[in-house]
Structure 1
Amino acid sequence: MNRPFLVLTALAALVLSQGCAAATACRTRPATSPGFERTASDGVCLSHLQWEPEQPPVRGVVVLIHGLRDYSDRYGGLAEALRAQGFAVVAQDHRGHGYSGGDRQRVESMQQWVDDVDGVVQATRARHPGVPVVVFGHSMGGLVATHYTLQHAADVSGLILSGAALALPPGVSGFDTRLAKIFGTLTPGLPAQSLDSEQFLHDGPEKERFLADPLITHENLPARSAKALIVAIEALEGRLQELTLPLLVVHGGEDVITSIEGSRTLVAQAASADKRLIIYEGQRHDLAHEPDAQKVIGDIVSWVEAHVPR
């Protein structure tokens, strides 16, 4: 058998293997992290956390959507602060993240993420009928939250975005995006887009925990996921003015993971009469774990309280 044929066969096998279905089962949560599981339409197990206020009635519900290299348990500080003010909070680990099933960091499209989030929102609305639902999204989760709100505006009373990935990083050319889309189609499992985990947080205990967390994957993003993000960012062009609901956008002044210009553009273009942008100077990407985390959490809780009166 000739050598070129063998090489082509090996490459074809590699492509096919990278497109295979992921393991679907959830990881087992420890007793200290109680939650519930839900099965997505394609059979992947999605793991959730929920926080309920001690005294009824529930004032409103906040749906937390985490980012890449992230999962729901890391938002306990924000969730507890909201719970103390009478809000129920629910957070889902994205497929391929935290305790959920799926290949690590792997997603097929933005619509798959949006559909997963809609399952959470509908289940939450059934559990707490008639109360306002506020959606919070961080980083890639902010991109998901924006697309979700554009598709399901009637289900959302307010939108909060933290370090949202709404614009391509500076220096990414059209050639780069075209190449990423090609690799995302032909070699979906190929490790492609890199993120510098060292730049998520300032040095300190929070950064050490982040880097050592066994539930956080620090490998390059698979090509299919990189393609999904690029396509989703491009799809927002010309649509931001469709947002009309109350809007809070927060971003770290020293964030080099996501573009602060994306947040500025959103606030400038959104048709919302009630919109606010807060830049936390000196803070990096992961605002809920940066030195000013308590101020960030306080600002978010105050905004939710003001927009969901008792």
Structure 2
Amino acid sequence: MRKTGRQGLGLLLYALCSLVLYVAPCYVHGQSAAGKAPDSSKLEQQGLQLIHKPEPVFRTPAVERKDSVTYPGFPYRSRVFTARDGNALFTYHFPQKGSKTIVLLLHGVLSSADKLNYTAGLLRATLNSDVYAMDHRGHGRSGGQPGDVSYTGQYEDDIADIIGQLRRRYPHHKIILAGHSMGGGIALRYALKTGVPPVAAYLLFAPLLGPTAPTIRMTAPPMRQGEEPFLKIHLSRIFGLKMLNTIGQHQYDSLRVLFFHVPDGSRISSYSYRANESMCPADYKAAFAAIRQPLLVLVGSRDEAFVPAAFEPAVKNSSQGVTFVIEGATHNSVRHDSTAMERIKQWAIHHQI
């Protein structure tokens, strides 16, 4: 299966899994189906049994996959920021002489900022802006444990730390927070946070809106005979951790719950429970409603991960943002599509960004 198809299936399974969790009141809300508070000792016992069930395994070797939309070649400078915990956050800086705008660009699941070279170069030209494409902690050249965070929400705290440092160095620049897929979901989590450095606008490419969003595909694409799924989810462990979290136990949140069929030696082959929780907002409506700045959402008409037509009403019903479905673009290619870049240019001119 092509990379894009596998990505779509992976995100689909993640979303369906999360959706189940959100409609399980005894796990999420701390109440039984009858409306009574759960017995903490029983929840603990059941939760511990669930989280220690065997992890899923892949029985066939993974095939090396290439990102067909990377097109490396735009020159950049290496810039390392320091997070509040001392962790190094690596960025690829694409400078634009005389610019008064900065784009902070966030990559998607299993990816890294070097895959955004072409996107960053195009955004630099389209917006006449400096672009910083960052590696999330545990990804690419940034420090941190691969596929894990120290606590739920650390990804967006890293964003706040970088934006704060950029703001201090360039106090009069406008900052646009941009993200693709999981990066878009993290940007939406940032929009929900209070007490963080503000941004001038949000630019989202096929963002992961979360488990309750209508953008989630409810059917999986077909697979070839004998082919293994790109993503396997430890559903029992997620349920168990939800139960333990309900009674205030978080000491097992570092356990792995998402397992990807990638070649041996890949930096990331799994994500922890707390990293999984940090990928997108719990409530996409609240996230969109929290955005008072200009918001542009772009999705390809051939997106394999999400339902393209569902984005516009999802955005319109909860925000003042605008959405464009880019004809012929896929989940990845929307990042560098010429029509998408023209939409970005006109949006920026309209809002004087």
Normalised TM-score (structure 2):
0.61
Q: 1:280 to 1:266 in 2, by over 3 A?
A: same
Q: Deviations over 1:208-253 (max 9, x none)?
A: xxx99x8763x23223322334xx5324454532322211101123
Q: Which has the higher contact order (CA 8 A, sep 6+)?
A: 2
The yes-or-no answer on 1:90 pairing with 2:132 is yes
Q: Which has the higher helix share?
A: 1
Post-superposition CA distance 1:131-174 (Å, at most 9, x none): 221111111111111121233687222111111111224559x9
Moved more, 241-250 or 80-89: 80-89
Picking from 116, 124, 147, the partner of 1:75 is 116
Q: Which residue of 1 aligns with 2:180?
A: 138
Q: In the alignment, which residue of structure 1 is the partner of 2:63?
A: none
1:66 to 107, 114, 119: 107
CA distance in 2 between counterparts of 1:108 and 1:284 reads 33
Q: Residues 251 and 280 of structure 1 are in contact (CA less than 8 Å); yes or no, is this contact kept in structure 2?
A: yes
Instruction: State whether residues 164 and 263 of structure 1, in contact with CA within 8 Å, keep that contact through their aligned partners in structure 2.
Output: no
C-alpha displacement at 1:77, in angstroms? 2.1
Within 5 A, what are the aligned runs for 1:111-126? 111-126=153-168
Deviation at 1:308, TM superposition (A): 3.1
Please tell me whether residue 225 in structure 1 is matched to residue 275 in structure 2.
yes
The answer to whether the Cα contact below 8 Å between 2:104 and 2:132 also exists between their aligned partners in 1 is yes
Q: 1:263 — aligned with what? A: 311
Deviation at 1:260, TM superposition (A): 4.4
Supply the distance in 1 between the matched residues of 2:89 and 2:137 (Cα, whole angstroms): 6
CA contact (8 A) 1:60 1:308 kept: no
| Structure 1 residues 166-208: Cα deviation after superposition (integer angstroms, max 9, x where no partner) | 1224559x999645635895644444224678xxxxxxxxxxx
2: CA distance, partners of 1:249 / 1:177: 30
Report the counterpart of residue 300 of structure 1 in structure 2: 344
Contact 1:46 1:95 in 2 (8 A): yes
Percent identity over the alignment?
A: 24
Q: CA deviation at 1:255?
A: 2.8
Quick check: 131-140 or 70-79, which moved more?
70-79
1:192 aligns with 2:240: no
Label 1:36 to 1:120 Cα distance change in 2 as closer, same or farther (>3 A): same
Deviations 1:275-303 (CA, angstroms, capped at 9, x unpaired): 321123443322356xx733333433443
Deviation string 1:93-121 (CA, Å, 9 cap, x unpaired) is: 11010100112121244531111101111
1:34-70 deviations in whole A, cap 9, x for unaligned?
312222222322111212213x2x2311111222122
Q: Which 5+ residue runs of structure 2 have no aligned equivalent?
A: 1-47, 53-74, 219-232
Whether contact under 8 Å (1:187, 1:224) holds in the other structure is no
CA distance in 2 between counterparts of 1:128 and 1:102 reads 27
Could you tell me whether the CA contact under 8 Å between 1:167 and 1:258 is conserved in 2? no
CA distance in 1, matches of 2:267, 2:350: 34
Q: Distance in 2 between matches of 1:224 and 1:80?
A: 32
How many residue pairs match? The answer is 258
TM-score by length of structure 1 reads 0.69
Q: Structure 1 stretches (4+) deviating beyond 6 angstroms?
A: 174-177
Distance 1:166 1:157 in 2: 21
Match of 2:58 in 1: none
1:166 aligns with 2:214: no
Closer/same/farther in 2, CA of residues 237 and 270 from structure 1, 3 Å limit: closer
3-state DSSP of counterpart to 2:147? coil
* Contact 1:37 1:46 survives alignment (8 Å): yes
Q: What is the CA–CA distance in structure 1 between the aligned matches of 2:337 and 2:298, rounded to whole Å?
A: 12
- What code does the residue aligned with 1:151 have? K
> Which of the numbers 94, 114, 119 marks the counterpart of 1:51?
94
